[in-house]
Amino acid sequence: MAQLKDKVAIVTGAARGLGRAFCVGLAEAGAFVAAADIDLAGAQETAEQINAGGGDAIAVTVDVSDEVSTQQMAATTAERWRRIDILINNAAVYAGLERKLFDAIAVAEWDRVMAVNVKGPWLCARAVFPMMKAQKSGKIINVASATFYSGSAQWSHYVTSKGGVIGLTRALAKELGDHGVNVNAIAPGFTLTEASQSLIANAEKYGVDRGAIKRAEQPDDVVGLAVFLASPASDFITGQTIIVDGGRQLN
């Protein structure tokens, strides 16, 4: 696979889980990868894994909820490779997020989820856009969640934040089409990562019966769509949110 040969990608939340899988998948498709995370040690492991396999990756520290930090992430990437073609907005407050009734969620917790999950993708898009505008091309891929479509009790901060991601995807797609920038979202179903496994007991079995394809979802199941949305094969697709969940939900 060389659909992304010489393309430069930034993936946020790259220290582990889905973010690491996106980094590895993009690198296998030929991209240079900036693995960005607030957890720099984890991002370094991701970059080392790619470099050990013959790819070209760097680790970048970022807090996606901080404007200056997102600008530094874009600047570091542009200094290294002189372009930015792909942004995957994957970082989120997800691991460790406790289920709580909507009126039991502390205001500070609500604000933190929105700051990382919604403001984060907006700030990261702002940070890379000058480069994409100058290049007259770019692919922004936001990671939403299938839980937006199903709703989920005691999860209102998270579900609302993923609705925000889908709204941002649509609005940016309309604004950036004239600049050659496509903006789409991926909505994974419940996927086996360290984070999801820490949230739910018997995670391997969770929801499997509801799928058309009756097995647990793995991070690699989501990577193919990310590569497609980052590649020229999807040049006429924008503003869309695509569910990847083995047919648990149909829309």
Ligand X SMILES: NC(=O)c1ccc[n+]([C@@H]2O[C@H](COP(=O)([O-])OP(=O)(O)OC[C@H]3O[C@@H](n4cnc5c(N)ncnc54)[C@H](O)[C@@H]3O)[C@@H](O)[C@H]2O)c1
Rounded Cα gap, residues 219 and 232, in angstroms: 23
- Using the rule CB under 6 A, is 142 a contact of ligand X? no
CA-to-CA distance for 142 and 163, rounded, in angstroms?
11
Secondary structure letter of residue 143 according to DSSP: E
CB of 143 to ligand X, least distance (A): 4
**Which stretch of DSSP H or E encloses residue 11?**
strand 8-12
Within 96-236, strands assigned E span 138-143, 181-188
Q: Which stretch binds ligand X (CB under 6 A): 9-17, 46-54, 74-82, 234-242?
A: 9-17
Is 149 catalytic? The answer is: no
- If you search the block for the tokens 């797609």, which residue do you land on? 173
37 contacts ligand X (rule: CB under 6 A): yes
Contact map string, positions 176 to 195, toward ligand X, x by CB under 6 A: ------------x-xx-xxx
**Using CB under 6 A, which of 24, 33, 34, 38 touches ligand X?**
38
Strand order in the sheet with 241-244: 57-61, 32-37, 8-12, 86-89, 138-143, 181-188, 241-244
Indicate which single residue of 4, 10, 62, 225 sits in contact with ligand X (rule: CB under 6 A). Answer: 62
Binding site for ligand X (CB under 6 A): 12-13, 15-19, 37-39, 42, 62-65, 90-95, 116, 143, 145, 188, 190-191, 193-196
Active site residues: 158
